[in-house]
Amino acid sequence: MKNFEGFGLNAVLTASLARMNYAVPTPIQAQAIPPALKGRDIMGTAQTGTGKTAAFAIPLVEALLSSPHGSALVMTPTRELGKQIMDIMHQLLGPQSPVKTAFLIGGEPMGKQFSQLNRRPRLIVGTPGRINDHLERRSLSLQDTRFLVLDETDRMLDMGFSVQIDRILKYMPAKRQTLMFSATMPDNILKLSKQYLHNPERVAVGSTVTPVQNIRQDVIHLSAAEKYNELLRQLGERDGSVIVFVKTKYGTERLAKRLNREGLRADAIHGDLRQNRRDKVIRDYREEKYRILVATDVAARGLDIPHIAHVINYDLPQVPEDYIHRIGRTARAGAKGEALCFVSPEDGKKWQAIARLMGIQTEDAAVTPFKPKSRNKKRGNKPFSGKKPFKSGKPHFVKRKDKSKNKKRA
């Protein structure tokens, strides 16, 4: 499919796509949209940044526009992801659309959601916890909901939403169209797809565990005590927006404050922030009012900010799969990006798990040596060789000051 015209979409949708500058469908869209328009269930696996939101949003909006009856529900794991989906949906529905929407996410006042629900919305986007809450209060009815999207299903299961999803589906008609998307396809997702989907069309883009190819990945082995100064050095060397991932909520705030004291504009985001604060942090970052976002994994998935040029894993993620989602915050929509991982001796096991998942050979086996010798001499052992695009899809390794390991080997 060369352009969207071949899909025979509603004129409203065609005009919206033109306004959004979506001229050519991405591979996941080219695969998913035609069967979804025919009413088929879809089981989709796609990396972040592939255009999967529009892959389900376009057939959903088409379904809403082509009939005055029936509603659609999109379930997604996080508020941030929900906001991005809602935003794409509003863009696709176009200005002054008669289709009313409700956005049902946790952490926001119920009052606003009640009034959205009173307007008889035909599109509901939300997180499973709050959707369930409304169903139990009877402020939401899904009796007429014939189109269901489960977005980032693996993440929803990781977050413990499976019981709630199950409960929500019991409120819905059995005769419906279901589109399920997941970044990975572990056994529990396969099982769920058998349970929730009817003869689904299987669509997939690329490998389910490899991050997009145009992300250059580097690794620095260092001690925990060296991380902060190394971060300052890295920030000084890089241009553009940076997202720094740390382990704890408290850690995000502390690091952002420290960076601000150094005169570097930074802010923090984590799950304990109030919703309006979270919205402001993201909005300001999107508008480039500051350069460095320090985040826990709450921001790792779905955050779609085109100008993120660098992802720095100050601490490794708890779950190896989150590594892929973290680095997927850069290189959005075909841009190039850089990801850097700090690995300290105590990270041994976690790092091995990530390396296994990514198919990386660790330094104990043969690795792509990273030897920017001349530069290192001149610039004081800086780990980057410059802006050479990273072609092989595997990280460069930079051995640095990993004293404990050296000792062990000696």
The footprint of ligand AMP (CB under 6 A) covers 22, 24-26, 29, 48-54, 304, 332-333
Distance CA 14, CA 3 (A): 11
Q: Token digits for 4? A: 């969207």
Give 408: exposed, middle or buried? Use CB within 10 Å, 0-12, 13-18, 19+. Answer: exposed
- Of the pair 55, 358, the CB lying nearest ligand AMP is at 55
Least Å distance, CB 29 to ligand AMP, is 6
- Of the pair 156, 231, the CB lying nearest ligand AMP is at 156
Q: What are the residues facing 123 on neighbouring strands?
A: 72, 101
- Amino acid of residue 389: P
Least Å distance, CB 87 to ligand AMP, is 9
Distance CA 41, CA 38 (A): 9
- Of the pair 3, 118, the CB lying nearest ligand AMP is at 3
Least Å distance, CB 233 to ligand AMP, is 31
- Of the pair 53, 208, the CB lying nearest ligand AMP is at 53
Least Å distance, CB 122 to ligand AMP, is 22
Least Å distance, CB 150 to ligand AMP, is 15
| Residues comprising the chain, all counted | 410
- Of the pair 52, 291, the CB lying nearest ligand AMP is at 52
- Of the pair 51, 317, the CB lying nearest ligand AMP is at 51
Q: Which residues contact 362 (CB under 8 A, 6 or more apart)?
A: 351, 352, 355
- Of the pair 20, 163, the CB lying nearest ligand AMP is at 20
- Of the pair 106, 306, the CB lying nearest ligand AMP is at 306
Least Å distance, CB 15 to ligand AMP, is 15
- Residue from 165, 200, 224 nearest 345 by CA: 224
Least Å distance, CB 409 to ligand AMP, is 43
Q: Token digits for 289? A: 């009012």
- Of the pair 151, 315, the CB lying nearest ligand AMP is at 151
Q: Are 205 and 28 in contact (CB under 8 A)?
A: yes
Question: Using N-to-C axis directions, what is the helix angle for 79-93 and 52-66, rounded to 10°?
Answer: 50
Least Å distance, CB 187 to ligand AMP, is 25
- Of the pair 107, 306, the CB lying nearest ligand AMP is at 306
Least Å distance, CB 335 to ligand AMP, is 10
Least Å distance, CB 346 to ligand AMP, is 34
Establish how many alpha carbons lie within 13 A of residue 120's alpha carbon, considering only the half-sphere containing its beta carbon.
6
- Residue from 106, 241, 103, 97 nearest 161 by CA: 106
